[in-house]
Amino acid sequence: MALGAGYLLVKGLSMAYSALLSLRPGKYLPSRYGQRTWVLITGASEGIGRIFAGELGRQGFNIVLLGSDLEKLKAAEKSLLEECYTENQPKIQTKIIVADLTKAHEEDFADKIYAQIQDLDVSILINNAGLFLQKPYLEASADEIRNIVIMNTLATSLITRALLPRLAARTQRSAIINISSISGVLPLPRQQIYGATKSFISFFSRGLASEYPNLDILSVQPGLAHHAKGAEENHKDCPVARPDEVVRTSLKALGNYDHTCGHWKHESQSWLMRNLPGFLRNLYVQKIGPL
């Protein structure tokens, strides 16, 4: 009984400490990384990537939008410029880069991207682009497996490698945000490959944060349900946060921590997945269903 009570006390204090950390105020990013500097965002035409672009654009950062669909990127650029225009600050600058991240295994992949931004003062890199796969493992095709592993792990690694020397050499601080997932916290059925790639992102990010303490490196592990169609309807028992809530909380964590789930709702879900005893964790996963 004493051991059980001690276990619960330690876990309870751990959760309380995580909650208290979330109250820490965020940094003023333009001063920390440089006024009018550039942010490179992969997967920037929609979803979390597009919301990061809007949040940082409104703070006065110039934005590089990278994606595979030129028309979607142009539409995102147009709406971004309209969204970030005010009479009280100069118009931000934007740049579009078209790149298929499933081709990251090809020679000079990252060099071709770097060549298009080498004259820009990039202060923040956001590796957001990723593929999602949820199906029984034997129903996944070889192409699906190959593409998700290449985009979610290799593309992130190589783009980071290409920009890291410049980011580390800046006189002001620089930042890297890598979008992982709560699916990388605990192995889940039907998401083996996806969860494994997101676990890679988390380990990769936190290893870099230890190796480069002069950089602000953040791994974001949001719950998948926050952006899924019908998430609120299908996951009533699962804490769900909106994409804009995830982005704002993540930017608040930048420079303060090396990882976050992007919102207290997902922090609590992650805590349960990591700390519940095995049989209760399995029951919890079965109850909330696929993330």
Annotated catalytic sites, by residue?
Answer: 194
> What SS3 state is found at 47?
helix
Tokens linked to 163: 């920009």
Q: What is the CA radius of gyration of the chain?
A: 19
Q: Which two tokens stand for residue 213?
A: 């303490």
Interhelix angle 142-149/192-211, rounded to 10 degrees, is 20
Question: What are the angstrom distances between the C-alpha of 226 and each of 15, 130, 150?
Answer: 21, 15, 24
* 3 state DSSP class of 262: coil
Q: State the angle between helix axes of 278-288 and 264-275 in degrees (0 to 180), rounded to the nearest 10.
A: 140
Contact 94, 11 (CB under 8 A): no
Number of neighbouring beta carbons within 10 Å of residue 44: 30
Q: Is 177 left (phi over 0), alpha (psi -120 to 50) or beta?
A: beta
